[in-house]
């Protein structure tokens, strides 16, 4: 009998099997699991559960909310092997990479454990005669998160731990492509002592998403995914009066300067371009070599480094990366490689249709290196989201920066250089939200905030960290006076000062 991944509503796993969808193991190409796709009624049940749980949870002291997160962190660590196996089975991510993803999620839980400090508010005494003023940060109510397939553990933990410790109740709509690890993590949160209804998980497709975007009981929506969907999420949520942060696509460039440590740059680019099969919104997919000498050295050394890379199944830790998520995505990635070749680029290392022993039907794409790419090629413009590194050659740093600043996406970028002046100029003037100096994946730690610029982010606040606290709370400012007994002021028609 096929296993069906259900929903977590009001502390209970329920199945809504009127509509289901296959969940594939991308290494084998086979489906042994299905996921239930929520109906409108199921969505409304989840929202009703979150709404009912909100008043009591809102008034639960922040320290008690934090204690749930402390226990949750322990359970995540105790069950890490099972979580990573579930990620590998449905996403294809190699075990060591899944462990890294989970650890970055746990770091966001650790940040959320600081709720008593994060929510302290601000106080000013005697702003006027016997007048005190303070601000406090109150929860919004029922909030929702819509998360992508590429980080089924980490990205949801960018959202719900912080939202929950801020006093909100939460509805998570994870990717229907790899739902099992996300549901299991939510069950661990229940085991940690979270009251029923505070955290709900509903699996589904656009029908489920549209309920979250239009139901007036949902006060805010967080989203991570592609830019076209991010635009739709942001516009629809705003039209329905909701607060929204929608993180979209990326095309991340690394500038390789003539003075760069090429060996270090190659090592860093190899992991940043091909790790997780390139299915990261922070993947470095374009290397911009300044000068042909740097370009030739980079291509030669990358070609050599890539000879040792292995693509395969998640449970062999000696593999470097796994398959892409679906057969359709494999075809799309390989189509961009072919497109680049037809447009005149040089395929230096060709990863199309690799042979993986024992996994003939898997969705594998090998590491691919393409040289002489130009900005007018379709493969350059698009977010390929696969293990493909394209090399663009320019003559000057200014030309390289113009390429990056002219691109519609502004998520992440990096420069490899030994020159502090160049690095400082780059970081000051590049129009990108997250910048690395000899750091290829400049993903902010949990106590900073994550987000790009331009069409990589729709909304005013970035994800997690300090911006996350502000996103999941609303400021209330209170000004009070307790005049001395018997003292009464006369009427004043002037604006108070």
- Tens of pLDDT along 166-220? 999 999 999 999 999 999 999 999 999 999 999 999 999 999 999 999 999 999 9
pLDDT number for residue 251: 96
- Does residue 119 share a domain with residue 11? yes
In this structure, the number of other CB atoms found within 10 A of the CB of residue 216 comes to 9
**pLDDT grade, residue 165 (50/70/90)?**
very high
**Residue found by looking up tokens 């413009």 in the block:** 381
Does 281 participate in catalysis according to the annotation?
A: yes
CATH number of the domain at 357, please: 3.40.309.10
Give me the domain span that covers residue 54.
Answer: 3-248+456-478
Answer whether residue 496 is part of any domain.
no
Q: Which residues pair with 418 in a beta bridge?
A: none
Answer whether residue 446 is part of any domain.
no
| Counted domains in the chain | 2
In this structure, the number of other CB atoms found within 10 A of the CB of residue 65 comes to 23
Residues counted in the chain: 497
Buried b (16+ CB within 10 A) or exposed e, 165-180: bbbbbbbbbbbbbbbb
Q: What pLDDT digit, counting tens, does each position of 395-454 carry?
A: 999 999 999 999 999 999 999 999 999 999 999 999 999 999 999 999 999 999 999 999
Distance CA 324, CA 316 (A): 16
State the DSSP string of 352-390.
SS---TT-TTS-----EEEES--TTSHHHHS---SSEEE
pLDDT number for residue 497: 72
pLDDT number for residue 17: 81
**pLDDT grade, residue 486 (50/70/90)?**
low
In this structure, the number of other CB atoms found within 10 A of the CB of residue 129 comes to 10
Answer whether residue 201 is part of any domain.
yes
Q: What is the mean pLDDT of the chain?
A: 96
Mean pLDDT of 280-309: 97
Distance CA 57, CA 168 (A): 7
Q: What pLDDT digit, counting tens, does each position of 298-325 carry?
A: 999 999 999 999 999 999 999 999 999 9
In this structure, the number of other CB atoms found within 10 A of the CB of residue 337 comes to 22
User: Is-contact 323 331, C-beta < 8 A?
Assistant: no
- Does residue 294 share a domain with residue 212? no
In a 13 Å sphere around the CA of 357, the CA atoms on its Cβ side amount to 3
Mean pLDDT of 102-116: 98
Distance CA 233, CA 247 (A): 10
What percent of the chain is modeled with pLDDT above 70?
A: 99
Answer whether residue 189 is part of any domain.
yes
Which residue of the set 84, 244, 281, 414 is catalytic? 281
Answer whether residue 450 is part of any domain.
no
């Amino acid at each position: 009998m096929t296993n069906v991944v259900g929903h977590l509503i009001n502390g209970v796993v329920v199945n809504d099997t009127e509509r289901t969808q296959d969940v594939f193991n991308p290494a084998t190409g086979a489906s042994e699991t299905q996921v239930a796709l929520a109906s409108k009624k199921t969505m409304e049940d989840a929202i009703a559960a979150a709404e009912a749980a909100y008043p009591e949870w809102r008034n639960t002291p922040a320290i008690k909310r934090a204690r749930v997160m402390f226990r949750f962190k322990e359970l995540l660590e105790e069950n890490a092997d099972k979580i990573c196996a579930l990620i590998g089975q449905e996403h294809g991510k190699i075990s060591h990479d899944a462990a890294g993803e989970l650890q970055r999620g746990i770091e966001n839980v650790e940040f959320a454990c600081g709720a008593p400090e994060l929510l302290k508010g601000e106080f000013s005494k005697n702003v006027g005669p016997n007048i005190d003023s303070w601000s406090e940060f109150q929860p919004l109510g029922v909030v929702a998160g819509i998360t992508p397939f590429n980080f089924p553990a980490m990205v949801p933990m960018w959202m719900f731990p912080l939202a929950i410790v801020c006093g909100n109740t939460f509805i998570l709509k994870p990717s229907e492509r790899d739902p099992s690890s996300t549901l299991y993590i939510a069950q661990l949160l229940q085991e940690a002592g979270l009251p029923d209804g505070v955290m709900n998980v509903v699996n589904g497709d656009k029908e489920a998403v549209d309920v979250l975007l239009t139901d007036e009981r949902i006060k805010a929506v967080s989203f991570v995914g592609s830019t076209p969907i991010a635009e739709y999420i942001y516009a629809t949520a705003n039209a329905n009066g909701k607060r929204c942060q929608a993180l979209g696509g990326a095309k991340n460039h690394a500038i390789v300067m003539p003075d760069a440590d090429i060996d270090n740059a190659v090592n860093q680019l190899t992991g940043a371009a091909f790790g997780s099969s390139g299915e990261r919104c922070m993947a470095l997919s374009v290397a911009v070599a300044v000068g042909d000498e740097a370009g030739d050295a980079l291509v030669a050394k990358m070609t050599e480094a890539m000879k040792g890379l292995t693509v395969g199944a998640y449970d062999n830790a000696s593999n470097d990366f796994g398959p892409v998520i679906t057969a359709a995505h494999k075809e799309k990635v390989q189509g961009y490689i072919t497109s680049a070749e037809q447009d005149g680029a040089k395929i230096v290392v060709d990863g199309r249709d690799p042979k993986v022993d024992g996994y003939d039907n898997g969705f594998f794409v090998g590491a691919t290196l393409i040289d002489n790419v130009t900005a007018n090629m379709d493969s350059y413009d698009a977010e390929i989201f696969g293990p493909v590194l394209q090399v663009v050659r320019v003559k000057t740093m200014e030309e390289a920066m113009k390429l990056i600043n002219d691109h519609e996406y502004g998520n992440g970028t990096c420069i490899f250089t030994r020159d502090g002046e160049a690095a400082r100029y780059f970081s000051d003037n590049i129009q990108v939200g997250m910048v690395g100096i000899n750091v290829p994946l400049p993903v902010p730690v949990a106590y900073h905030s994550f987000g790009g610029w331009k069409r990589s982010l729709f909304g005013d606040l970035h994800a997690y960290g300090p911006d996350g606290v502000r996103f999941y709370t609303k400021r209330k400012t209170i000004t009070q006076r307790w005049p001395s007994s018997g003292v009464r002021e006369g009427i004043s028609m002037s604006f108070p000062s």
